[in-house]
Structures are given as C-alpha cells and as structure tokens.
Structure 1
Amino acid sequence: MRWWNKKRPEQRPKEKKSPAREWADAVMFAVVFASLIRWATFEAYAIPTPSMEKSLLVGDFLFVSKLHYGPRTPMTPLQVPLTHQTIWGTGIPSYSDAIQLNPYRLPGFSEVKKNDAVVFNFPAEKGHPLDLKTYYIKRCIGVAGDSVAIRQGQVYINGRAATKPDGLQFSYLLKTDRVLNESFFSDRDITDSYRTPEGYIVHICPEKAQQLAGLDFIREVKRQLAAPQEAEAGIFPQAPDLYKWNKDNYGPIYIPQEGATVAITPQTLPFYEKVILEYEHNENAEVRDGKLYIDGQEANAYTFKQDYYFMMGDNRHNSLDSRYWGYVPADHIVGKAVMIWMSLDPNGKLLDRVRWDRVFSSID
C-alpha cells in the first residue's frame, strides 16, 4: 500500500469492546458515581438501637445529608468503595490505614444547631481511623461555647431550660395488680421494657405515662430519677471524687469552642484531658502526675483547635451519650439526619412489618 493510501489513526475503525469489557466499564462508572454521591451529598443509615426512641425507631432507615454541614474530605483513601469497616458479609477489613490524610470540611448549608439529629463517628472508639469509627446518631443538646447542666432530668443550656423534643422518653416503674403480657406493651407501642421484682420498667414519654396511670389495674406509675449528689459509675468526666453526677443531675459543663482558652487545673483537667490528648491532634502532649505537658513544658492553659458538641439520646434513660463519653469533635461530624425513607418493625409480622406512616417522613 502506498503511503498516501494509508489511513490515518483517527480514520481507522474503533475496536469494538467485548460484552465483558462493557459490563466492567459500566460497573466501574456506577461504583465511582455512587461513591461520589455517598461522600458529598447523602448516605443511608439504619437505626440499630432504641437510644433515640420515640423520635427515631429501631428499623428506621434514614438519609443523612452531608450537604448541611459540608462533606469531609477523605481521610482513609485506601478503602474498598461503598464499605465502612469491613467487606460486606465478612469480618475482613475493607481498608488499610497505611495512608492517613488530614481532614478538611467543604462549605455546607448550615452549622450544627441545637436539637439537630446528628450522625457522627463515635469519638471514644479505638482500633479504626477517625472516618471509619462506628456511626452514632444522637441529638445535639449543646454547641461549642455553651454550658450544659441537667437538673432532675431537665436540660439547661446557659442557665435556661432547653426545649424538649417531641417523643422524649424517660424510665418509669409500673406497679400492677396482674402480670402484663407481651401484647399489653405491643398494643400500646411500648418497645422498651423489662420486668423487675417491683413491677415493670418501661421507657415511655410523659404523655403515655399519664395514660397508663388511668388504667384500673395499674397501681402506680413512677418516674425513675437519680438523686442529686448520687455519683453514677461511668459518668463523664469519670471523676466521682470531684463531681458526683448522674444521668439526671449533671454539670454544669463547658463545651469547648475553637479559639477559646481554658485554665488547666486539677479540677478542669478531667474535662479536657481526652480532648487534648486524642482529638486535638497534638503530637507531643501528655499528662503526668495530674499535670498537662505539651512539648515537654507544663501547660497551665490550653487553646482549642476545633469546636465540640454535646450529644444526648431522646430515650434519656437508655442512651450512652455525651453524659458518659464526653464531647463530639467537629471533625467527627458526618451529617444531619433529614428523612426516613423506610421503616421496618423488627417484631412485626410479614404483612405488618412496614411502618407506612413513617416512610418518607422528615426528621425533626
């Protein structure tokens, strides 16, 4: 063939892809697209525990918006797409922590506000990178710079009684004249209960407690409240000799704010030790003999590098939250829960398992 008859490369017919190659390209595109959507806009989340009842129920499936507070840039890039901690259906880790990137947050629609239902990475968890810690969902009670206190179960923010979310639950003791069967609780939508020698402990809202008190076979409905100055094991900051607090009588406690400086004393160090050593990314910080040292020098004051939040469950007597493990750092915030797209009753029968009244409902 003469050189002037040769077809230029762009004139040659394109090589046709095999069906397997076309499927592989389509799957790759779908995975990349889904990963971008999941990272930057919305992610699905399931409610695994009753700590947010009755606002959110076990079996609710949520959409969590990353757009509200701004999506975080990836911190653990070596990860199987569309996984969290393990590969689906196995115990095999889905990531390598050989490379860890500093977190940054893109601009969002709003800041975290009081009473938002917030999904975050559980701060106290060990063994996983920050962005792969287990997801928790709680209600934001206080934001950075606030002072939080609880008196006889009532939350106070900066000295004022906080607004109570709809569906807020507490623990009550039911004393009855007869044995209550399972249908008694299911017919009244009481999903969190157990029997004691005195009667039945149920987690319900005050309105339902009033209804139960009107039944002729219920002798007493008594709200369970811990007494002031009664130290409860495990309550943050885990210093019962200094602070005799419990889940119903707590604080006041200051929520750290970026740029704020606090004095470090034997009385304040228990509040901020974990923050400074674990959440503030200080490489040369340590506590020795009850004193804080940074870069080998004793520190009598500390300035915070990021904001923090105080989270609590709406099921106030059946929730492990900031009252037990402390503050949630800003870089642990994942997004805002905005919608229930499906709700399945784990105890429901086949035809009644879907809670249709909750499907596609917004979250307050």
Structure 2
Amino acid sequence: MNWKFFSRRKQAANKPKKSKTREWVDAILFALIASTIIRGLLFSAYAIPSASMEGSLLTGDYLFVSKIAYGARMPMTPISIPFLESTILGGKVKTYFEGVQLPYFRLPGLGEVKKGDAVVFNYPDETVERPVDMRAHFIKRCVGTPGDIITIVNTQVYANGKLVPNAPKSQKSYIVTTTGTDLNPQMIQNLKIDVRYQYSPTTYEMIIPPDSFNEFKGFSNIISVKEVIEPKGEYSPQIFPHNEKFKWNEDNFGPLLIPKRGTTIPLNDSTMALYGRSIEKYEHNKVTRDGTAVMINGKKADSYTFKMNYYWMMGDNRHNSEDSRFWGFVPEDHIVGKAMITWMSLDSTQTSFNKVRWNRVLRAIH
C-alpha cells in the first residue's frame, strides 16, 4: 500500500488556507508581473496624438504595437514606474531613475524594419536630455532603410532611384482658389478637409484627402486646386541638415545616404554636416575640430565606420508632419516596434455614441 499518497493528502488537507487579502495581493502581483512581461516583450498600446499620419492613422486612434516584429528592446533604464509616462505633472516629475543605465540590446525578432512599415520609435531630437527609452514616442512610416540613398523629387520619395510608393491614404497640401463665396463648414467637415491657412478672401491652403479630392474640386465656387510643392534648389533652414550648403526643402531633398552598420564614410565639412550629430550623439563619441581636422575621442580621424543601422521616417500627411526631413535619422536603438492593429478610435469632435469610430475598431494597419 502507498502510504506516501495518503501522507501527501493529509499534508494538503492540513495546509492553512490563504486569507482573502493574501489571495488579492497574489492576484494583483501576478497580474502586474504578467502585464509587465507582455508589455516589455510582446506588445504595447499607444495613442495617436497628432495628424501627421492622416489619413492612414487618425488623431484619437489607439494602437497595438508589436515588439516581437523587430525583436523586443531590453530596458536601458531598468528602474522606472511601470505603466506611466516618463514624466508626469506637466513634465515636472520623472517616473524613472537614470542613475542606472544598461547598454542597448535587442532580442531576435520576426523580421526587420521594412519600407512601408508604420513604426513606433523614441523621438531622436529631444532638446531635454533623457535616456533613449524614456523619450516621447513617435509613429511614422519607414521610407528608407540602412544603406539606401534617399531622394525626394516634387514630394515623391525615391530609394536608390526607385519609387517608394505613397501610402494609399497619404495626404497632400493644395492651394485652393475660390470665387469668394464662403465655403460651407459642414461640407469641409464631411469631406475631412483640413484648412491650414487662409491667405486672402479667395485663397486657402488645404490638406485634402484623396477620397474627397474630385468631389471638392467639382463644387461651383472652386476655381482651381494646385498641389503645394516647394521648388527644387530653394533652401529651407528648418530642413535637415540645417546647412546652406545643402539646398534642400520638404518637397525636394537629397540625395542622402542612410548609414548602415559597418559603412565607412570620409570625414570632411559635408559629411560632418550630415552625419556629425549621429557620430557624436547616437554613437556616443566626443567629436571636436582642430582646424580642418576632425578629432574623435581625442584622435585625428579621416573616416568613420558606423556602429548602428539608421532609418528614414516620414508621415503620410506630408505637409503636416515633423519627421526625418526636419531632424534626420532614426537610430536602431530608438526603434520600439511595428504598429499592427487599431483597437479603438475616438473622435474628439463628436459626442456620446458618435465619438467612437466603429469602422476603425480592431482594424489592421497597412
């Protein structure tokens, strides 16, 4: 006879039951641990705060972002309060301790960042220095991958001379000339048109969704609709690399090589204007100049070999997007994940039941 069997049953019967409080504490602790692991390794939820990705992604969309798509990035700032933004109370209080910093490391993923992906990443151009993983989150579409030579010609992006297709719902700006008759506000709202500026009683700059373009153009009080394009060779100081040597603007830009891990470039005035920030800030080198010579970590350098891959990100709403055209490259250690699903969408201009955009709930992101 198996006396041990009865002995175990007797021990289990005599084991004291957990109190209700202990059961709740254990359940909450388990939920926190499980959700932290899921959020850190599998996916996270993010909200769209601006119009830079319209009409693909709308202000008020709530997204699930896959971290395993490109491999989960391990925390670089391990001591922080989970489920909170990096700062609270209007940015006055930090929710993390930056005294402990870990090196960048990413687990293997299902794939790599590809052109056309909607990518969430940490903002690379923070004016206030913060750890990379504690910076604000942005979402843009990848239009250039490591090693690509990017050119923008009359708003259209090319990589290595090949057309990079626009997103199906991408939007453009137009100069609209009217007869002077007032535009119907309800019509503007129904067609989802964004009136950016009014230059005169008859002239406007508008962002018009592709689905609304033909209907809008057909109204009797519309005289002309012309796409806004900054001329080639016209320098814009807001545009990367913010140097008059490069006569680039939002709509005509490049050519520009996107750094790839292992790529070696010569160091001179032109390359330092384009890549100096990446070499110093993102790859953590001390860069100085001694006359015409470039000094990296105190040593004269004629060339530099990149340690990381970089990406070129742009919004689908091209004339209402602060993106790589303004602040340059996105380093691989800033990449968070790939936007996969819109799980909820709220329209702040509506009320009650109409506030939910039901046609966008649980919708795949393309």
Same fold (TM over 0.5): yes
How has the CA–CA distance of structure 1 residues 279 and 288 changed in structure 2, closer, same or farther, with 3 Å as cutoff? Answer: farther
**Which one-letter code corresponds to 1:85 in the other structure?**
S
How has the CA–CA distance of structure 1 residues 39 and 289 changed in structure 2, closer, same or farther, with 3 Å as cutoff? Answer: farther
Question: Residues 243-281 of structure 1: CA distance to partner in whole angstroms, max 9, x if unpaired?
Answer: 111000100000000001011111111111110001012
Aligned 8 A contact 1:46 1:61 in 2: yes
Question: Residues 292-351 of structure 1: CA distance to partner in whole angstroms, max 9, x if unpaired?
Answer: 311312211000001000000000001010001000000110000011111111112322
Aligned 8 A contact 2:192 2:209 in 1: no
Aligned 8 A contact 1:115 1:165 in 2: yes
How has the CA–CA distance of structure 1 residues 192 and 134 changed in structure 2, closer, same or farther, with 3 Å as cutoff? Answer: farther
The residue that corresponds to 2:176 in the other structure is 174
**Which one-letter code corresponds to 1:328 in the other structure?**
V
How has the CA–CA distance of structure 1 residues 193 and 112 changed in structure 2, closer, same or farther, with 3 Å as cutoff? Answer: same
**Which one-letter code corresponds to 2:228 in the other structure?**
Q
The residue that corresponds to 2:296 in the other structure is 294
**Which one-letter code corresponds to 1:46 in the other structure?**
A
Q: TM-score, normalised by structure 1?
A: 0.92
The residue that corresponds to 1:83 in the other structure is 84
The residue that corresponds to 1:209 in the other structure is 213
Q: Which runs of 4+ in 1 moved over 6 A?
A: none
Distance between the aligned counterparts of 1:296 and 1:121, measured in 2? 30
Aligned 8 A contact 2:71 2:108 in 1: yes
Q: TM-score, normalised by structure 2?
A: 0.91
Distance between the aligned counterparts of 1:290 and 1:270, measured in 2? 13
The residue that corresponds to 1:185 in the other structure is 188
How has the CA–CA distance of structure 1 residues 348 and 246 changed in structure 2, closer, same or farther, with 3 Å as cutoff? Answer: same
Pairwise CA distance, 1:29: 1.3
The residue that corresponds to 2:364 in the other structure is 362
Distance between the aligned counterparts of 2:58 and 2:195, measured in 1? 11
- Residue 317 of structure 1 aligns to a residue whose secondary structure is helix
Runs of 5+ in structure 1 lacking a partner? 1-9
Pairwise CA distance, 1:174: 1.7
Pairwise CA distance, 1:207: 5.2
**Which one-letter code corresponds to 1:114 in the other structure?**
K
The residue that corresponds to 2:198 in the other structure is 195
- Superposed, which structure 2 residues align to 1:45-124 within 5 Å? 45-86=46-87, 91-124=92-125
Aligned 8 A contact 1:277 1:286 in 2: no
Report the more deviating stretch, 220-229 or 142-151: 220-229
The residue that corresponds to 2:325 in the other structure is 323
**Which one-letter code corresponds to 2:328 in the other structure?**
G
Distance between the aligned counterparts of 2:195 and 2:79, measured in 1? 40
Question: Residues 153-207 of structure 1: CA distance to partner in whole angstroms, max 9, x if unpaired?
Answer: 1111101222121111111122222112431211112245443325222112455
Root-mean-square deviation (CA), in Å?
2.1
**Which one-letter code corresponds to 2:84 in the other structure?**
T
- Asked if residue 140 in structure 1 is aligned to residue 149 in structure 2, the reply is no
**Which one-letter code corresponds to 1:143 in the other structure?**
T
Pairwise CA distance, 1:209: 3.0
Report the more deviating stretch, 75-84 or 12-21: 12-21
Aligned partner of 1:129 among 127, 131, 143: 131
**Which one-letter code corresponds to 1:262 in the other structure?**
I
- Asked if residue 275 in structure 1 is aligned to residue 286 in structure 2, the reply is no
Question: Residues 68-105 of structure 1: CA distance to partner in whole angstroms, max 9, x if unpaired?
Answer: 10001111111112223135898521111010000111
How has the CA–CA distance of structure 1 residues 19 and 287 changed in structure 2, closer, same or farther, with 3 Å as cutoff? Answer: farther
How has the CA–CA distance of structure 1 residues 301 and 137 changed in structure 2, closer, same or farther, with 3 Å as cutoff? Answer: same
How has the CA–CA distance of structure 1 residues 288 and 340 changed in structure 2, closer, same or farther, with 3 Å as cutoff? Answer: farther
**Which one-letter code corresponds to 1:54 in the other structure?**
G
How has the CA–CA distance of structure 1 residues 127 and 18 changed in structure 2, closer, same or farther, with 3 Å as cutoff? Answer: farther
Aligned 8 A contact 2:77 2:97 in 1: yes
Runs of 5+ in structure 2 lacking a partner? 1-10
Percent of pairs identical after alignment?
Answer: 44
The residue that corresponds to 1:249 in the other structure is 252
Report the more deviating stretch, 318-327 or 202-211: 202-211
Aligned 8 A contact 2:195 2:204 in 1: no
Pairwise CA distance, 1:16: 4.2
- Residue 272 of structure 1 aligns to a residue whose secondary structure is helix
Question: Residues 93-119 of structure 1: CA distance to partner in whole angstroms, max 9, x if unpaired?
Answer: 111101000011101111000010000
Distance between the aligned counterparts of 2:217 and 2:12, measured in 1? 86
**Which one-letter code corresponds to 2:363 in the other structure?**
S
Report the more deviating stretch, 291-300 or 71-80: 291-300
Distance between the aligned counterparts of 1:287 and 1:312, measured in 2? 32
- Superposed, which structure 2 residues align to 1:152-171 within 5 Å? 152-171=154-173
Distance between the aligned counterparts of 1:59 and 1:307, measured in 2? 31
Aligned 8 A contact 1:73 1:103 in 2: yes
The residue that corresponds to 1:222 in the other structure is 226
